[in-house]
Each structure stands twice: as structure tokens, then as C-alpha cells.
Structure 1
Amino acid sequence: MEISVDISMYPLQKEFEAPILAFIAELEKEQSVEVVRNELSTQVHGDYNVIMALLEKEMFSVFTEIPDSIFVLKFVGNNRQGIYGI
């Protein structure tokens, strides 16, 4: 099953940009999913099991380093890549 996930990350600390960029860079290392960046969020498109394992691993890593972080995730039960020109 293919899905799409819209992710917003909020590290609650003064220096917030570097952890966000590092999180996205880790997502982009998984070649079997498509990662699309924009100013407000990041979209990940691909196989459900791959994405869920990737999110579990990378979110755990963020929470280990920056426990005061917030993730907002929106899931769609199909691959919406390119539907809105993204």
C-alpha cells in the first residue's frame, strides 16, 4: 500500500532550524520513498511499511536528542505525490 505523509517538526529550542534540516536529510537517505520539502512542511510518499519504519526510527532519534520536540503528521491512505503540482 502506498501512502503520503505531511510532516511538521517543531523542536522547542532556540536553535530549531538545524534539527529540522537534519531530520529531513535522514528521511531523504531512504531511496525508496519520495521526500518533498516546502516552507511549511515536508511530504513523504511511498510504501506504508517503509515510511512507518523510517518515521519510527527518525522520530525516536529526534526525541532522544531533543525531548521537547513536537511532530504534527497527517496521513493519506494513498500516494498523493504530484496531485497538486508538488
Structure 2
Amino acid sequence: MKVSVDISLYPLTEDFLTVVDDFIQRLKKEPDLTIKVNDLSTQVFGDYATVLSKVNAAMQATHEKTPKAAFIMKILNGDLLDQHSGQYA
């Protein structure tokens, strides 16, 4: 089954941009994931189990490196990327 995940990260630290960029770069290293980034969030698309496993690992790494960080996620069963011809609406 395919999944679409929308993630917003709120690091509670002065160097928040570094933390966000590190999280995004960690996800982009995963060849089985499709990543779309905009000013408000990061979208991850792919196989359900793979996406949730890789996102979980990236979140854990962020939490281990950052004293306080909040993640907000929306998970949709289905691939919005395919439904919008490569554009996430």
C-alpha cells in the first residue's frame, strides 16, 4: 500500500534551520522515498511500511541530537503524488 505523509518540524532551539535541514537531508538519502519540500512542510511518498520506518528513524535521530523538537504529521493511506501528476496539492 502507498502512503503520503506531511511533516512539520519545530525544533525549540536557536539553530532551528540547521535541525530542519538535517532532518530533510536524512530523508533525501533514502532511495525508496520520494520527498517534496515547501516552505511549510515536507511531504514523503512511498510504500507504507518503508515510509513510516524511515521517517521514524529520521525523527529519532533528530530527537537524539536536539534537546526539544516537535513533529506534526498527517498520514494519508494513498499516494497523492500519483493523483496530482507529480504535484502535491
> Could you say which TM-score interval applies, normalised by the shorter chain?
over 0.9
The Cα offsets for residues 28-64 of structure 1, whole Å up to 9 and x where unpaired, read as: 1111110000000000000011111101111111111
The count of corresponding residues between Structure 1 and Structure 2 is: 86
Aligned position for 2:80: 80
Identity %: 33
Q: TM-score, normalised by structure 1?
A: 0.93
Aligned position for 1:8: 8
Q: Secondary structure at the match of 2:15?
A: coil
CA distance in structure 2 between the aligned counterparts of 1:79 and 1:67, rounded to whole angstroms: 33
The one-letter code of the counterpart of 1:76 is L
CA distance in structure 1 between the aligned counterparts of 2:59 and 2:32, rounded to whole angstroms: 18
The one-letter code of the counterpart of 1:23 is F
1:29-48 to structure 2, matched below 5 A, reads 29-48=29-48
Q: Given the alignment of the two structures, is residue 52 of structure 1 paired with residue 76 of structure 2, yes or no?
A: no
**What is the Cα-based RMSD across aligned positions, in Å?**
1.3
Q: Which has the higher helix share?
A: 2
Aligned position for 2:26: 26
